Structure 1
Amino acid sequence: MSIDFANFNIHKVYSLEGKTAIVTGGSTGLGLSITRCLISAGAKVIVLSFEAPEQATDALAEFGEKAIFYQFNITDTDHTQEIVDKIIAEHGPISILINNAGNHCKKFIWDMSVEEYVSVLNVHLVGAFALTKALIPHMKTFNQGSIVFMASMTSYIGQPQVSGYATAKAGYLGLIHTLTAECAEFGIRVNAIAPGWIDTPMFHKATDNDPPRLAKIMGRIPTKTIGDPMDVGMCAAFLCSDAARYITGACIPVDGGALIGF
């Protein structure tokens, strides 16, 4: 693991040139910023999403041939291996997986049905597990890979009306710990990102008409700012690069210090 300083090139270390990534939910929200940053670092990105192809095509048009869209429902686990094999056959080795797909059900636990709870878990945990399981044997053959799960501050703190979401995001922590123990010897690193309050339509929907809630949020962020989606994308690009070669089993908060704010 020693570094050859005589030939050290910092730009090369952070580069993703020649790598191909799969990003679930990579054409909207934080996923789109992750796609943008990975491509900017040199990677080709395969975007998996169940949204309409024409909608995704418009969102990904700026990237040209560097972004390729496949319509796929992450919960269709009976066909996960099939879509992975198809992608590998058409685009070659995959060395990066970003598990970013998600859904949301904002209800108090006494109002949420079991079916709604399970639906959230199926997208976040079960779907991500199936995709990771399908790719790991492929990554093992090349003795390299970087897998990133999109966790959340609800992986750590209590927040009302998101029991399914919080369960799934906390579950990612256990999953990355186990996968790190199982996969490190094969050169596969497994990490997570826990975004804080980020400047997205969802954030504005929750706060624009609720000044007390916005004040409470800002009061616990030491930097006194909300994040930009690109902050999350840049963290993902870093974790997938050789600059993070000795980082595995970690969950990095991108939150302006909110987890320790008070």
Structure 2
Amino acid sequence: MAEFLITDESLTSVEGKVVIVTGGSSGIGLSTVQLLLSLGASVVGADLHEPLEGAVSSARFTFNQADVSKWQDLVGLFKKAIQLHGRVDHVLSNAGVGPRTNYINGIELDENGDPKEPTSLVPDVNLKGAINTATLAIHYIRKNPSGGSIVVTSSATGLHRFRGVDYTVSKHGTIGLIRGLHTALAAQDIPVRINGLVPHWTASGIVQEELFKELGIYTQPASAVARAAVKLFADESRRGQLIHVDHGVYKEVDETLLQVYETFQHEESTGGDEGIALLAARLNWFTDAK
């Protein structure tokens, strides 16, 4: 795993850029909004509620109410950014909610005594919201002559076993989203980069710092993760990476994980993406792919 430092100088290229941040009213999202504004970017923040009074004070910030689980809310968000600024350069897909569903002991019964379907709130917000945000980001960012980038806030939870099942599924899914879109964008030579954040315990709306402190669990400040988000916007060399953040230490982890996976394959096996590329050519899938 490659550990690296983030200097103030390495973030300055976001000056003048237009950035959309979902889940921008608290936690990692709010800290990213504040950092971007301090660096001279223009930001359109989206959330269910505006940031607390005084949390953001800049003429370059616009709030747009949006529920990321709703497609039309996201369309309206991007159209608002285009209306205001004429383009979108970077997007942080950050909106998320914590575990909600107990699939083992929490099944409710209806009036007939039959099990009710569990709520899909967590995958709808954390995973479907990220998929749809990224889809719209690609649609708009690719129109820029120099392209731009997407950063998805996943979680260290997506890298290991975690008993909050609905949350774990959603965060493993966002890592799949990053990996899949990175490969597809590169194959079609589309000038949009995608990277991800996999932070450990971080103070936010989901992780209540005071409660975790009582339990003896360290939570890093959201500002530490915000620096990684902005670094991924600013550094054009970073493509398809997952940045792990813990105690303010930054490590790229996905290249190591993928190298380990390659050791599992038989020496005569065809790689997964290589295989689908061959199938795509034969069956005319992804006809715009190069």
- Shorter-normalised TM range: 0.7 to 0.9
Say which of 134, 137, 141 aligns to 1:135. 137
Corresponding residue of 1:195: 199
* CA displacement at 1:66 relative to structure 2: 2.0
Corresponding residue of 1:22: 20
Code of the residue aligned with 1:25 in structure 2: it is G
Residues 226/78 of structure 1: CA separation in 2 closer, same or farther (3 Å cut): closer
- Larger helix percent: 1
CA RMSD between the two structures = 2.5
* CA displacement at 1:258 relative to structure 2: 11
Counterpart Cα distance in 2 of 1:190 and 1:59: 32
Say which of 47, 68, 72 aligns to 1:74. 68
| Structure 1: runs of 5+ lacking an equivalent | 1-9, 218-224
Asked if 1:91 is matched to 2:82, the reply is no
Asked if 1:35 is matched to 2:33, the reply is yes
Equivalent pair of 1:57/1:69 in contact (CA under 8 Å): no
Say which of 165, 188, 204 aligns to 2:209. 204
- TM-score by structure 1 length? 0.79
Corresponding residue of 2:222: 229
Say which of 124, 146, 151 aligns to 1:122. 124
| Structure 2: runs of 5+ lacking an equivalent | 1-7, 108-116, 254-290
Equivalent pair of 1:28/1:59 in contact (CA under 8 Å): no
Does the residue aligned with 1:58 lie in a helix, a strand or coil? coil
Higher mean C-alpha deviation, range 193-202 or range 130-139: 193-202
Code of the residue aligned with 2:66 in structure 1: it is F
Code of the residue aligned with 2:170 in structure 1: it is A
Percentage identity across aligned positions?
A: 26
Corresponding residue of 1:148: 151
Residues 109/12 of structure 1: CA separation in 2 closer, same or farther (3 Å cut): closer
- The number of equivalent residue pairs is 231
- TM-score by structure 2 length? 0.72
Does the residue aligned with 2:142 lie in a helix, a strand or coil? helix
* CA displacement at 1:135 relative to structure 2: 2.3
Does the residue aligned with 1:169 lie in a helix, a strand or coil? helix
